[in-house]
Chain A
Amino acid sequence: MKIISDLLITALYVVFVQNLVMCSGLGMSEAIRIAKRPGTFLKFAAMISGFSVVTSVICSLIGIYTHSAESYAVKAMIYGGVLTAVYAVTALIVHLITRDKELLGNLGISALNTLVFAVPYINNNAAYSLQNSIGLGLGAGAAFVLAAALIGSGSRALEKNRHIPPAFRGTPAMFLYVALISLGFTGFTGTALF
């Protein structure tokens, strides 16, 4: 029971309290891009959560068994290497089974982004247990989709707004929109993630 509650608390924390995308900008470019395609949200949530969980668990295990990750350069190599390996294996399996090119393209976006890469760092920094790591990974996917959904619905509302001054139309208004959401999330912690 404690394992499940730890997992859920960590997941909820990174989705609502310290939304990884809004509070630290992780995966923000991808979230803005995906925001235009609401039909793909669940697919991306599942893929990002999957990659985050697997990467962070493997990195945790490597950290436990090697005790070598004192240097951030070494950590980066380990985390990057694990992420690349997880992505390569997944892409290979998908290629062999389905040969679905769209899925392969989406796998690249889901796996190779700053959000998934940062998850092992957060894990390591907060000294999370295995269940926390899994919760963090699951939460990362949900946080990404929440951010994408908020940005997507907001950008649609902004597109309809004909009174936005010409200089702010499009990207500038969207940056400010995201800034104000990010400011709202600051109310929980009052600080940045790193």
Chain B
Amino acid sequence: MADARNGQTAKSTKIYGDYLLMLAAPCALSIWYYGAAALRTLAVCVLTAFVCDFVAGIIVNKQYYAADLSGICTGIIIAMMLPADVPVYIGMTAVSFAILAAKIPFGGGMRTPFVPAAAGFAFAAVCFKEQIFTYGSGRAFMKSVSLGSSLVSGNTVRLTASNFLDILTGNIYGPMGTTCVIAMLGCVVFLVIRRRQSLIPSAGFLGACLLVSLIFPRSEGSVISCAIMELCSGSLLFAAVFMLTNPATMPVHRANKVVYGVFTGIVCMTMRKLGAFEEPVCFAVLIANAFSPLLDMLTDRARIIVSTRQKAREVKANG
């Protein structure tokens, strides 16, 4: 049991260590764009994550696994999805929920059936809908509304060279650390080098999101502009890199990983079109996480049935 726990912690350290390295870029950019406000939100989330993890670990497991970096990672991921000037208690609520309700009770680290950051953000979104989707001012931004709220109101930004560059560099209204496309692409490159397999769901997810946004554009005007806005708005790319790549929550079978990603994309885009929240990707991730063991279970059963039939056929053929 102790060996298994140590093995799990070592694996968790490796994977979440990678995430921490990848998160350095969005963190730096958020501080660059939003200054002290971003630093404060980040510090509050990380500190809350550490305290919750430590206290709950001591109470529940009688031990705090310092090498399990998932708690800290969850804190940073949630901070990146929040507006920079969000009240302190919102960050604390989101992170506390993520750690106490979605991480610790399931054994933490690589054993959580749901992405804790998605659970924390979803909980905070239900509780503080207005504050979480109202983005504050930072440096010189392209527009006074986020891409997500533009799409909700059916408006398209006319893409020019300058505002396209703004979108790529994250110089737009939105969550403090998720809007920079270049940083996300950098993370993807890092993952390609380190854990290529974990990008399978993300590929399915982005493909499904792109396809849905092309078929059912939410705003009038150029379909291409709308699709680019859909992909670059809110936390969609960020979730593709930091939530869907979580090996603890994705299905085991490779084909199911694609289905899982595509399913998340369809649910996310449906929620964006019909749902109650401007950025519902975390809700979509939670639903997809719930489907993940079901997909594996169905595949296993199908394989058993096929192999049984094959054996029966072989027995029959052999007389």
Tell me if chains A and B make direct contact, with any CB pair below 8 A: yes
Is there a chain A Cβ closer than 8 Å to B190's Cβ?
Answer: no
Number of B residues, CB within 8 Å of A: 43
Give complex CA distance A183, B282 in Å: 10
Contact of A186 with B113 at beta-carbon distance under 8 Å, contacts A154-B290, A173-B106 already known: no
Which of A162, A172, A180, A189 contacts B102 (CB under 8 A)? A180
Chain B contacts for A167, CB-based, 8 A: 60
Report yes or no: A164 in contact with B106, Cβ–Cβ below 8 A: yes
Most-contacted residue by chain A among B106, B108, B274, B297 (CB, 10 A): B106
Among B126, B270, B291, the residue within 8 A (CB) of A183 is: B126
Establish whether residues A168 and B60, one from each chain, have CB atoms under 8 Å apart when the complex forms.
Answer: yes
A38 to B61, CA, bound (A): 33
Highest count of chain B CB atoms <10 Å: which of A157, A173, A185: A157
A163 vs B105: C-alpha distance when bound (angstroms): 9
Q: Find the A residue at minimum CB distance from B4.
A: A162
Residues 175-194 of chain A, each 1 if its beta carbon lies under 8 Å from chain B, else 0: 01101110111111111000
A-contact 0/1 string along B54-73, CB 8 Å cutoff = 00000011000000000000
> Once the chains bind, are B5 and A163 in contact (CB under 8 Å)?
yes
Contact check, A180 vs B61: say whether CB atoms are below 8 A apart. no
Chain A residues touching B, range: 20 to 34
Give the chain A neighbours of B270 by CB distance below 8 A: 188
Q: Are B107 and A185 in touch, CB under 8 angstroms?
A: no
Contact status A186-B8, CB under 8 Å = no
> Chain A binding site: helix, strand, loop or mixed by DSSP?
helix
When the two chains form the complex, which single residue of B8, B102, B105 contacts A164, counting CB atoms closer than 8 Å? B105
Residues of A contacting B108 with CB < 8 Å?
163
> Once the chains are docked, how many angstroms separate the CA of A188 from the CA of B277?
8
A181–B105 contact, CB under 8 A? no
Q: Mark B64-94, 1 if CB is under 8 A from A, else 0.
A: 0000000000000000000000000000000
| Contact residues in A for B37 (Cβ distance below 8 Å) | none
Distance of A176 Cα from B60 Cα, bound (Å): 15
- Taken together as a complex, chains A and B put the C-alpha atoms of A180 and B285 apart, in Å, by 11
Q: List 29 A-B contacts (CB under 8 A).
A: A150-B294, A153-B296, A153-B297, A154-B113, A156-B293, A156-B297, A162-B107, A163-B8, A163-B106, A163-B107, A163-B109, A164-B105, A164-B107, A165-B60, A165-B61, A167-B60, A168-B105, A173-B105, A176-B106, A177-B113, A180-B102, A180-B119, A184-B122, A186-B122, A187-B275, A187-B280, A188-B271, A189-B276, A190-B276
